[in-house]
């Protein structure tokens, strides 16, 4: 069962936090970071992480670390709504391989949805980096 295990300090999100891997960053504060999913399920798919937590999934996460992540998730959902005007926003979080988790650093997905537009598959198909930067800038401009 992969709900348990050691945190990999070299996972892709840890590398993004350290500046070792690029990301279309939307928001960053002392505790959290939000950036565009490089393999989006839809236009505007954004991820929110805690920058220093070594929790692999929600079950491992310290409540003190979870609180700022949830607040940033709400803040980003509001900014996505203002920037992209979706009909809805899916907010999801995966725990373990069987759930669909592919990166073992606790993170939340914010996926804007429009009526009649199908949702893409999780972690399938890399997006155009220039388009991700444009979306990141549009969403960031709406953060209050």
Which pLDDT score is estimated for 144?
84
- Active site amino acids: 107
> Reduced to 3 states, what is the DSSP secondary structure of residue 139?
helix
pTM attached to this predicted model: 0.95
Percent of the chain, pLDDT > 90? 90
**Residue 50, strand partner residues:** 32
| Residue ranges of domains in the chain, CATH in brackets | 12-140 (3.30.428.10)
Give residue-wise pLDDT tens across range 82-130. Answer: 999 999 999 999 999 999 899 999 999 999 999 999 998 876 778 999 9
Torsion from C-alpha of 96, 59, 15, 72, nearest 10 degrees: 120
Other Cβ atoms less than 10 A from the Cβ of 41: the count is 21
């Amino acid at each position: 069962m992969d709900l348990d295990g050691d945190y990999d300090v070299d996972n892709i999100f840890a590398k993004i936090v350290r500046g070792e891997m690029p990301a279309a960053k939307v928001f960053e504060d002392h505790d959290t970071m939000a950036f565009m999913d490089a393999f989006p399920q839809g236009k505007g798919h954004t991820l929110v992480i805690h920058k220093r937590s070594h929790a692999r999934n929600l079950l491992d996460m310290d409540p003190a670390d979870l609180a700022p992540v949830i607040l940033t998730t709400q803040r980003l959902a509001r900014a996505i709504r203002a920037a992209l005007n979706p009909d809805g926003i899916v907010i999801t979080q995966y725990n373990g391989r069987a759930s669909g988790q592919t990166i073992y650093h606790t993170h939340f997905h914010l996926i804007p949805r429009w009526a009649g537009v199908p949702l893409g598959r999780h972690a399938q198909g890399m997006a155009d980096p220039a388009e991700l930067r444009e979306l990141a800038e549009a969403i960031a401009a709406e953060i209050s």
